[in-house]
Structure 1
């Protein structure tokens, strides 16, 4: 995998073998950093033309709950418009962060997002190709 962006809280890589963007979140981050990271993710989606995203938030400790509305209404729409059709989202172990993910995803219809507690299951779902038969956005 080729690393496109690296910070203490987010590593964004392009997995050429699977043609998807791989995101690895960790720790607690503030609202400003979270928004900046989201915009970096969007930039990397556009750069790679990835149509699928593997979003590993296992070690995420929150930091973006204040951005739920923006993420759901603006950011995810831009992600879909950039060509992403499917996201495999590995849920955080942190229960508060997991609650925030569920609140966010309840407001998102595009792209297709499925959640997992197991990294391998998320990988297999995204790799299966069935994931790209998501909703029309």
Structure 2
């Protein structure tokens, strides 16, 4: 399943994909994000996570322009507990090094307490981290 969210100008700002093989949600952000688009996007991929009964998210913000620091408080206070209730346990975020989005991601990572989150500068490292978490999680389920 692939879902694309568009802004008021008809441009895609978020693509959400279910990765059934790895059992995680992939979300790819692009362009500039407003508070409204951040909230809409996070709520959409949390709903996808819950519907799929997955526990991990792979978030790619490398094509995102600017900071999303304006939404950090809402993410930590409102969204993070909601995502944890929906089953989120592991959250890997890929950022463009030395970008405004990286600074926002680092702030989020340092403060989130509801699930394990980690920031990466390349996609493969993020995927490997999630795969190790999934293998550990599956071994504990038996």
With the shorter chain as reference, the TM-score category is 0.7 to 0.9
Aligned residue for 2:9? none
5+ residue gaps, structure 2, are: 7-11
Aligned residue for 1:17? 21
RMSD: 1.9
- Structure index of larger Rg: 2
Structure 2-normalised TM-score? 0.83
Shifted more, 99-108 versus 115-124: the winner is 99-108
Count matched residues.
132
* Over 4 Å off, 4+ runs: 130-133
Of 102, 106, 116, which aligns to 2:106?
102
Of 79, 98, 111, which aligns to 1:75?
79
Q: Is the Cα contact below 8 Å between 1:31 and 1:63 reproduced in 2?
A: no
Select the structure that is richer in helix: 2
Q: Deviations over 1:7-27 (max 9, x none)?
A: 311100100111110111111
Aligned residue for 2:90? 86
1:32 aligns with 2:36: yes
